Each structure stands twice: as C-alpha cells, then as structure tokens.
C-alpha cells in the first residue's frame, strides 16, 4: 500500500486544499476507539465522494464515512483507518414537496435543521424520526445506523420512512434507488439494503423521506409505580388497548434519578406515555389513562405539556449525554426481544446487576421490545473488566432466551478488544459476509466495524 503522503496531491485536487486535514494533532480528535486516521477529507458534492472512493479503491485505502460523529461509538474497532470521509458539507435540502409529503436532503444535514425548516412550511410539517442527539445527528448517520427513538412505536423507523436514496458504492458508482413516488416497487430495493449497514456497503449521499403534518398537540403522562410488575402490566394494557400513544417507556429508579425530573419520584419505576395528535383526543386519552392507572395502583400521575414535554423526551433520548455531563463513565447495551417479554427481561437484568454489585439505569421502549441498559463504571459505580464481560454474557443470554439479541453500543476500546460488540455469531452473518464480498471485494468501506468483523 502506498504511503498516504504520496496520495495527498490527488486528494487535494478532488476536495481542495482547505478541505483536507493531515495535521497529527488535529487527527487525534477524530480517533475511533483509539485508532487515528491518516487524513480527513470533507467533500461537498456526491461527485467528489465518488472520485475519492474510486481513488481509494485503486490505491487499496480504507474509508470510514462520518457525519458529526454521534454514532461513531457503535461498532467494532476498525481494522484499517486511512481516510475519514466527513459528509457535513453535503448539507442541503434538495427538494421539499410538502404538498405531496416528501422531502429530499443530503446526508450531512442534521435532523434538527430539517425539522426547523419543515416547521416553517405552511401549517408545519416534520420528519417523524426521534433518534438520540437530533441536534447533532446527520440524516446519513441516522439512516446508516437505522437509529430510532421512543416514537418509533407510532411512526416506525428510518426503514419505514425512507422511499429513495442516492449512494456511492465501493467501486465509485453512484447508485440511485427509489424516488419521490411512495408506491415505487420495481426492481431491487437497494435503498433498504443500505439502511442499517453502518456504511459498509455504500456511502449514503442523498435520501428521500415521507413527511407528516405537525400534530396539533402533544403531551406526556408520567405514572409512578412501586413495583416493576405494576409498571409492566399497565404498559402492556395500554399497548393492547385502542389508545394511540406515540411512545410507552418504562424507566427504573436509576434512570429517573439521572433524568432529574421532579415528577415520578415516589416509586421505583416510571411509565412515560407520549401522545401526539388532535387536542381533544389527547386530553381524553390523558384523562382516561390517568384514571385507569390510579385505579390500578399508580402512586402518582403527572401530565407534561409544551416545554416540559419536549424537555422530558430529550432527556430520555439523550440519556448518555446526561451521564457524560455529570462525569459518569458507563458501558451501554441495546437489547431487542419479544414485546411480551419486557417484564421478564427487565427483571432478570436487574437481578443480575444487583448480584454483580453494579449500578444500572434501564430505559425500555415497552411497545417495541427494545431495552437500553447503562452500566455505570465510574463515579456512580465501579466495575472491573472481568465483571463487565461476565455481565455482558449474562445479559446476552437473557436476550437470546427471550427470542432476541444484544449489542454493545458504547464501551472503552480495552473492553471492545475482549468481546464482539455485535454479540455471538448468527446464521445470517454469512449472508452479510457474502454481500460484503460481492459489493466491496477489497473491503475498503468501514473495515471491521460491522457484524462479524466485516
């Protein structure tokens, strides 16, 4: 492989000298799990990305795509890290057709920017995604990781909302899939193949989404419970009912304490139900669910609206950011399992954590079968590496027994070296490897970062 210094002149020709970083001190700030890239490139067009990829393929250089870096903690340690390709200069909305409820935008624009723009269009619209760090997360990063938040219960994930994409494949080809027509069903859906592929099959450059009008009103109903059983039972009852919540979350005391909301302090568990829609419907659902909860043992009921509503859900979505701000070190997991097993999984996780003597915060998307676990390893609690490895294995075992899976979302590089952050090898991993070999035979895109080390 040629030394990167010999290739700099050509890279400068592609992106311009002001959009290339090779100073060692500046590169340190962009190290991925301690691995520093050799150069950072910031292209401004899809054509420039294509030229970079073609050149990297010719020279056998690895490329790691990155927006603002809000999801870079996810995944394995890179096998190689030659070029860090930042997409933040591709930050334009290319088509906003609110009459037909579609939006096309480049990969480097943040979700927050998109939402602000849409809110000013006509009576107001929005892209119904609420992953963590919406102020920082780019559309490309959100789609590449298929990130979602509490409101996936009502609106789905990026996979449900995206209808078209333009991407650069490892050979430099610019591939267009789908389009503005919602019922576009001809040919292979390459767009869906790239969603959640973590930049290993192609670099997402532009995407088209379905939009919705802004809801007339939004509110949150907070319900405190003394026991996990009571909280889970009520959450499942609402899920089976005719109510239409946008989210149903169950938080344990460790999570509630760190979100630091005045409401929900009486019990050890908090059920948070988000509602969006017509004002009359919201008021009726809040009233009826609150009354039902009180009859079924809720210790306290609180309704949040306006700024308090928005602040609460931001604190839930960006929970890890709050831990960082308070100076806590932590390891985080994402578990998926059957929706009906929320109670069993949460109960087993809590017992395992107590037996291991570690402090954990749990936030469960009760209507989606997704559980986020935060194991505090500093300030709030200390854990040795061996203990964390044992805890991870036990959590994974519980998820599998409940027909699910577990992945490590963030942990120190030293711990990553001792485990597979994507969990044990599964049968479908071989299919992914074959796709990777077919689409990216030289393995230049994000090598080692995705499942099975591909």
* Positions of CATH 3.30.70.1130 in the chain: 328-416
Alpha helices in 265-318 (DSSP H): 279-295, 306-317
Among positive and negative, which fits the CA dihedral 355, 360, 366, 370? negative
Pull the structure tokens for residue 173. 């080809």
Coil, strand or helix at 323 = helix
Mean pLDDT of 166-181: 90
* Positions of CATH 3.30.465.10 in the chain: 93-213
Is CATH 3.30.70.260 what the domain over 4-88 is classified as, yes or no? no
Strands (E), 169-228: 174-178, 203-210, 212-213, 217-225
The percent of residues in the chain predicted with pLDDT above 70, rounded, is 95
| Nearest Cα to Cα of residue 133 among 415, 451, 409 | 409
Separation of CA 252 from chain center: 21
Does the structure show a pLDDT above 80 at 98?
yes
pLDDT of res. 183: 55
By the 8 A CB rule, do 131 and 147 touch? yes
Distance between CA 90 and CA 105 in Å, rounded?
9
**For 217-317, which CATH class?**
alpha beta
> What's the topology of domain 93-213?
3.30.465
* Positions of CATH 3.30.70.2190 in the chain: 217-317
Does the structure show a pLDDT above 90 at 261?
no
Q: What average pLDDT does the chain have?
A: 92
Window from 30-34, 264-268, 412-416, 444-448 with minimum mean pLDDT: 264-268
Does the structure show a pLDDT above 90 at 270?
yes
Distance between CA 167 and CA 208 in Å, rounded?
12
* Helices 228-240 and 279-295, packing angle to 10 deg: 140
Give the residue with greater pLDDT, 265 vs 103. Answer: 103
275 phi and psi, to 5 degrees?
-135, 140
Distance between CA 115 and CA 129 in Å, rounded?
10
pLDDT digits (tens, 9 = 90+) for 138-164: 999 999 999 999 999 999 999 999 999
Distance between CA 27 and CA 449 in Å, rounded?
19
pLDDT digits (tens, 9 = 90+) for 28-74: 999 999 999 999 999 999 999 999 999 999 999 999 999 999 999 99
| Nearest Cα to Cα of residue 146 among 336, 19, 274, 324 | 336
pLDDT of res. 381: 46
Strands (E), 278-402: 300-305, 329-336, 359-365, 370-378
Q: How confident is the model at residue 427 (pLDDT cuts 50, 70, 90)?
A: confident
Order of strands across the sheet with 300-305?
A: 300-305, 217-225, 269-277, 247-252, 359-365, 370-378, 329-336, 405-410
* Cα distances (angstroms) measured from residue 262 to each of 163, 301, 324: 41, 12, 21
* Positions of CATH 3.30.43.10 in the chain: 4-88
pLDDT digits (tens, 9 = 90+) for 203-244: 999 999 999 999 999 999 999 999 999 999 999 999 999 999
**For 328-416, which CATH class?**
alpha beta
Window from 92-106, 390-404, 412-426 with minimum mean pLDDT: 412-426
Does the structure show a pLDDT above 80 at 189?
no
């Amino acid at each position: 492989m040629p030394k990167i210094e010999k290739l700099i002149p050509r890279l400068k020709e592609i992106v311009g000298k002001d959009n290339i970083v090779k100073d060692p001190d500046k590169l340190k700030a962009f190290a991925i799990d301690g691995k520093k890239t050799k150069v950072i490139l910031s292209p401004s067009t899809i054509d420039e990305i294509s030229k970079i990829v073609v050149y990297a393929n010719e020279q056998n250089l690895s490329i790691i795509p990155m927006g603002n870096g809000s999801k870079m903690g996810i995944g394995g340690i890179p096998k190689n890290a030659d070029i860090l390709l930042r997409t933040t200069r591709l930050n334009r909305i290319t088509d906003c057709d609110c009459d037909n409820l579609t939006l096309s935008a480049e990969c480097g624009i943040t979700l927050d920017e998109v939402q602000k723009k849409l809110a000013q269009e006509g009576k107001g619209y929005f892209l119904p995604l609420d992953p963590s760090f919406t102020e920082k997360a780019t559309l490309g990063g959100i789609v590449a990781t298929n990130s979602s938040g509490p409101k996936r219960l009502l609106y789905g994930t990026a996979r449900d909302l995206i209808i078209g994409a333009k991407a650069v494949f490892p050979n430099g080809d610019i591939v267009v899939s789908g389009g503005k027509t919602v019922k576009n069903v001809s040919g292979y859906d390459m767009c869906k193949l790239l969603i959640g592929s973590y930049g290993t099959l192609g670099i997402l450059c532009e995407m088209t989404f379905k939009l919705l009008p802004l809801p007339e009103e939004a509110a949150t109903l907070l319900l405190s419970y003394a026991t996990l059983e009571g909280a889970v039972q009520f959450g499942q009852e609402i899920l089976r009912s005719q109510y239409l919540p946008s989210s149903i979350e169950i938080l344990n005391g460790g999570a509630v304490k760190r979100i630091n909301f005045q409401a929900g302090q009486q019990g050890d568990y908090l059920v948070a139900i988000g509602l969006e829609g017509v004002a009359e419907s919201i008021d009726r659902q809040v009233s009826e669910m609150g009354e039902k909860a009180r009859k079924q043992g809720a210790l306290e009921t609180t309704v949040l609206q306006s700024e308090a509503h928005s602040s609460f859900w931001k604190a839930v979505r960006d929970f890890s950011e709050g831990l960082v701000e308070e100076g806590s070190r932590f390891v985080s997991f994402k578990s998926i399992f059957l929706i009906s097993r929320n109670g069993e999984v949460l109960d087993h996780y809590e017992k395992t954590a107590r037996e291991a003597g570690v402090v954990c915060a749990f936030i469960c998307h009760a209507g989606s079968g997704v559980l986020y676990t935060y194991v505090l390893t500093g300030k709030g609690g200390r854990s040795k590496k061996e203990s964390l490895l044992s805890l991870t294995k036990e959590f994974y075992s519980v998820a599998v027994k409940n027909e699910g899976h577990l992945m490590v979302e963030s942990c120190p590089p030293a711990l990553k070296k001792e485990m597979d952050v994507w969990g044990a090898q599964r049968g479908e991993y071989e299919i992914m490897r074959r796709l990777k070999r077919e689409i990216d035979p030289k393995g230049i895109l994000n090598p080692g970062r995705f499942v099975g080390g591909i």
